[in-house]
Structure 1
Amino acid sequence: MVLGPEAFEELLAGFHAMDEHFRTAAPEVNVPLLMGLINVWNVNFLEAETHAVLPYSQYLHRFPAYLQQLTMESNGKSVRWDGSPVTTETGEIFWGEPGTNGQHAFYQLIHQGTRIIPADFIAFADPAHPLKDGEQDVHELFLANFFAQTKALAFGKTADEVRAEGTEGSLVAAREFSGDRPTTSIMAPALTPGVLGQLIALYEHITFVQGAVWGINSFDQWGVELGKQLAKGLAPAVAGDEDAIAAEDSSTAALIRYYREHRSV
């Protein structure tokens, strides 16, 4: 809203454009359909449990957190539409950070860890702000890192390549990369309100596709509702009603008593 009604209209147009693409595009070029099916493959056949979203834009630093809410609340289910239990894994643990942060933090695990972690890399040809003199080289180096990470995850580095660099002994295995790590690269000309709308709608439709394949209802959130209901029932105990505290299970009662004894207000 800070950017004005024109930007908001552009955001809505981005939503609509992706909605129409999902509704009308042929399956072989339908991006949300293909990405949703790939995610199902990663979960149910590659046994991936988490999914990293790595935007190379500081303006999207909260986008992974938004996707946590979207995907985990929608597809964190263990029963189908008809009430029968699912027979496969469902849902993914979404997480992530801007790529420049992640490269010096958790990329090591994605590259050489024992877990398969599918990752979506997001970048833009132009930065969100005008470049000053001399900054173009910095921007291109920034994008070179984006391209390099996906290339490294795809193709890795063989032991022979490591030895060719003069490395010997036990260090060879430590510097070898298996590659074949699943990634998806998403690029757009620039991060505009319209492109942001397309990104949001893209992941909404991906989430729907996964839920449809798993046969679950992606549109309820009873796990959240249970916590709300219990919170209302616990209010008297938290307020100090000893009978209410005594009626709780031992763990909850002990936690409430600790709170009551150590609070400063």
Structure 2
Amino acid sequence: MRVRCDTTTAWPRLHRHFEQRGRGFDLRQAFTADRARFDAFSQEAPEIFADLSKNLIDREAEALLFELARECGVEAHRDAMFAGERINSTEGRAVKHWLLRAGGEAGEGDAVLVRQALESMLAYAGQVRADAAITDVVNIGIGGSDLGPQMAVAALETFRDPGKRFHFVSNVDGHELAGVLRGLKAGNTLFLVASKTFTTLETMTNARSARRWFEEQGGRDVARHFAALTTNVEAARDFGITSTFGFWDWVGGRYSLWSTIGLPIAIAIGAAQFQDLLRGANAMDAHFRSQPLESNLPVRLGLLDVWYRNFHGFTSRCIAPYHSALKRLPAYLQQLEMESNGKRVDAQGQPLPFATSPVLWGEPGTNGQHAYFQMLHQGTDTVPVEFIAVRQPAHALPVHHELLLANALAQAQALMQGKPDPGGHRHFPGNRPSTFFLLESLTPASLGALLALHEHRVFVSGSVWGIDSFDQWGVELGKVLAQDIAQRFTSLSLNGLDDSTAGLLRRIHPPI
């Protein structure tokens, strides 16, 4: 039985510390009183330097949080995951996405299957890369089958094959698919259909429409121009697809870019760079598994999230990547954290008396500065901000990168320091927290480490809260009801509907 945070002895002690020291904590005074604060609250981890010193936390609070983690059994829970135990209790599944980047040099069972699947996927990616006739690759998926690959292909744009364009279609809204197809030629396009079961409503609707467009444009060889990332080989074969790449039920969707779902990434950057992506993540896995809590970056971040959510009462966190290639990272992290930890009951199904996942949101800097930073600096809510910067640019344009980094540093500084104004309108209260992640350069290895860092951070906060971070039942009800409503466009029946839904259906479909 896992130990939930509010049943520990550290929990009330944290509350007392917050009331005595945390509620009125002032960052500016903290730096004045502790000249070693930056060193104490910053650290190196694989591929990443993290500065946590501009957060509303002191050494005593962090020490109590480490005690909380130990009482909650975070280390044992972590070790159970890496041992392949079924820690996804509501679905009775192991959680082994880490195995996908473990190297596969040795081992048996799943490790052998992982290596074989990776070799097969990378070989196919190499064939596509060598095929000059294929100029466009369209990934059709949704959720983890879209967000991860789309984010990574954009992030690693400087490593991409210049002879190919990559497109991602996820929304069942036909405007998205139609917009992509408008610029394509059937003979030059490869479609990747990513659906574990090959039944996902949005994905299969888009896939069937793509095949119909392909045939109407004169395409004849579906087997050459379509591949499937699925375990339902028979359904894919019925669709006309012979190239299929499977994965396992211990790979959750939001953790699946490391699997064959990463095929568009492998086509974009090649086998060697894809292996580097895995190696970067594996290095962070090793850090998480081996480092003591006090020097374990995912642990420190996950506990900071608990401190902010349950003691300071902060309801959201802003992600501000100061690199345009990371434009899809906020959306990726939204799913990772909010689908994992957006839970109202613990792993035993008991209602929780405390808050869980915050709302994640954000845009790349410096665009965000001209959109919502007004609220971050002078709004009534305190929102912790996470800056992600890259020291070395991947372009040779003078001045740009220095200005970009100067803005990132200045925004973090301004949030902390503030500026008084007796008139009020120009008053910046300051004391607004932020974390600063610095990568040497944006490479497959550093991206892999960054993503694994956030995976493990989410694991830690979920472990403390005593929830199952690896199921996602909350997405199911709406999907079931959507199928029922879709049938009513044909049946014209309103039986059993609430008055609001029935009224809207009449408005949308007047014959009903």
TM-score by length of 2: 0.47
Q: CA deviation at 1:27?
A: 1.2
Root-mean-square deviation (CA), in Å? 1.6
Are positions 1:227 and 2:478 aligned together? yes
CA distance in 2, matches of 1:261, 1:51: 43
1:44-123 equivalences in 2 (<5 Å)? 44-123=310-389
Q: CA deviation at 1:102?
A: 0.5
* 1:198-248 alpha-carbon deviations (Å, 9 max, x no partner): 111111111111111111111111110111222222232132432xx1321
* 1:134-167 alpha-carbon deviations (Å, 9 max, x no partner): x0x33212211111011111121234xxxxxxxx
CA distance in 2, matches of 1:247, 1:115: 42
1:165-176 equivalences in 2 (<5 Å)? 170=423, 173-176=424-427
Amino acid at match of 1:246: N
Amino acid at match of 2:501: T
Are positions 1:190 and 2:441 aligned together? yes
Q: CA deviation at 1:114?
A: 0.8
Q: CA deviation at 1:112?
A: 1.1
Amino acid at match of 1:258: R
SS of 2:344 mapped into structure 1: coil
Q: CA deviation at 1:111?
A: 0.9
Amino acid at match of 2:444: P
Contact kept? 1:240, 1:260, Cα under 8 Å: no
1:253 maps to what in 2?
Answer: 502
1:131 maps to what in 2?
Answer: 396
Amino acid at match of 1:214: W
Amino acid at match of 2:433: P
Runs of 4+ in 1 over 3 A off after TM superposition: none
CA distance in 2, matches of 1:28, 1:39: 15
CA distance in 2, matches of 1:174, 1:23: 49
Amino acid at match of 2:351: P
SS of 2:510 mapped into structure 1: helix
2:409 maps to what in 1?
Answer: 147
1:205 maps to what in 2?
Answer: 456
Q: CA deviation at 1:82?
A: 1.0
CA distance in 2, matches of 1:130, 1:237: 54
Amino acid at match of 2:396: L
Q: Which residue of 158, 169, 189 corresponds with 2:420?
A: 158
Contact kept? 1:78, 1:86, Cα under 8 Å: yes
CA distance in 2, matches of 1:260, 1:240: 12
SS of 1:103 mapped into structure 2: helix
CA distance in 2, matches of 1:239, 1:215: 45
1:28-39 equivalences in 2 (<5 Å)? 28-39=294-305
CA distance in 1, matches of 2:466, 2:364: 33
Q: Which residue of 452, 461, 469 corresponds with 1:218?
A: 469
Structure 2 CA distance for partners of 1:217 and 1:79, relative to 1, 3 Å: same
Q: CA deviation at 1:29?
A: 1.4
CA distance in 1, matches of 2:370, 2:499: 43
TM-score by length of 1: 0.89
Amino acid at match of 1:158: P
CA distance in 1, matches of 2:472, 2:323: 31
* 1:159-210 alpha-carbon deviations (Å, 9 max, x no partner): 4xxxxxxxxx62xx22222211111000011000111111111111111111
Query: Where in structure 2 are there 5+ consecutive unaligned residues?
Result: 1-265
Contact kept? 1:68, 1:95, Cα under 8 Å: yes
* 1:58-110 alpha-carbon deviations (Å, 9 max, x no partner): 10000000011111111111000111110101111110000111011100111
2:251 maps to what in 1?
Answer: none
CA distance in 2, matches of 1:221, 1:235: 23
2:487 maps to what in 1?
Answer: 236
Amino acid at match of 1:130: H
CA distance in 2, matches of 1:230, 1:58: 38
Amino acid at match of 1:81: A
CA distance in 2, matches of 1:188, 1:194: 10
CA distance in 1, matches of 2:502, 2:429: 50
1:177 maps to what in 2?
Answer: 428
Amino acid at match of 2:407: N
Query: How many percent identity over aligned positions?
Result: 48
* 1:106-136 alpha-carbon deviations (Å, 9 max, x no partner): 0011111110101110000111x2314xx0x
Count, aligned residues: 246
Amino acid at match of 2:403: L
CA distance in 2, matches of 1:239, 1:40: 48
CA distance in 2, matches of 1:78, 1:238: 34
Contact kept? 1:46, 1:116, Cα under 8 Å: no
CA distance in 2, matches of 1:255, 1:215: 40
CA distance in 1, matches of 2:395, 2:272: 20
CA distance in 2, matches of 1:212, 1:183: 23
CA distance in 2, matches of 1:112, 1:180: 11
